[in-house]
Amino acid sequence: MANLNDVRHYCQAHGCYASLVKSHTEYLKFHTKKHRDYIHITPQVEAAVKKSGVEEGLAFVSAMHITAAVYVNDHESGLIQDIDEWLEKLAPFREDYRHHRTGEDNGDSHLKSLLLHQSVTLPITKGELDLGTWQRIFYAEFDGQREKRVIIKIIGA
Ligand code: ZN
């Protein structure tokens, strides 16, 4: 799913519609096999930046759920295990969350999502995602095994 729009601007000097700002929106879909998972999505975001044609702007990447997160950090398997253990320590699975009075069982998934946050905003410079040497973008799933989405919104010129 993708769409490409030009936001047109009326230019009084020339009496024409000049295209100043471009926007591009894409959705990534996930259905993880595991309950918790960490998925590297830098290539998909880079591809969306290319598709957008934006040279200078911002890429906004956001989980569309309250039991998932998008974060930037190292693409290193040991660290990913460390992050998972750290989140489980801070927001462990428990039976007795008040949220479970609703019949749900994912109180810890909501709390883990808050710890890593739902979105990141990244710079685009000269048509490329302008990340630091070790910065990579991840989708973190805390209540998987069902359909989930991430939105990529690119704005710029
Ligand atoms: Zn819930």
Q: Which domains does the chain have, with CATH numbers?
A: 2-95+106-156 (2.60.120.460)
- Gap from CA of 111 to ligand 1 centroid (Å): 10
Question: Could you tell me the pLDDT band of residue 3, with boundaries at 50, 70 and 90?
Answer: low
For residue range 23-68, list pLDDT tens digits in order: 999 999 999 999 999 999 999 999 999 999 999 999 999 999 999 9
Alpha carbon of 62 to ligand 1 centroid (Å): 18
Query: End-to-end alpha-carbon separation of the chain, Å?
Result: 22
Q: Around ion ligand 1, which residues have CB less than 5 A away?
A: 104, 106
Residues in CB range of 100: below 8 A, 6 or more apart: 107
How far is the centre of ligand 1, averaged over its atoms, from the C-alpha of 103 (Å)?
Answer: 9
Average pLDDT of the chain to the nearest whole number:
93
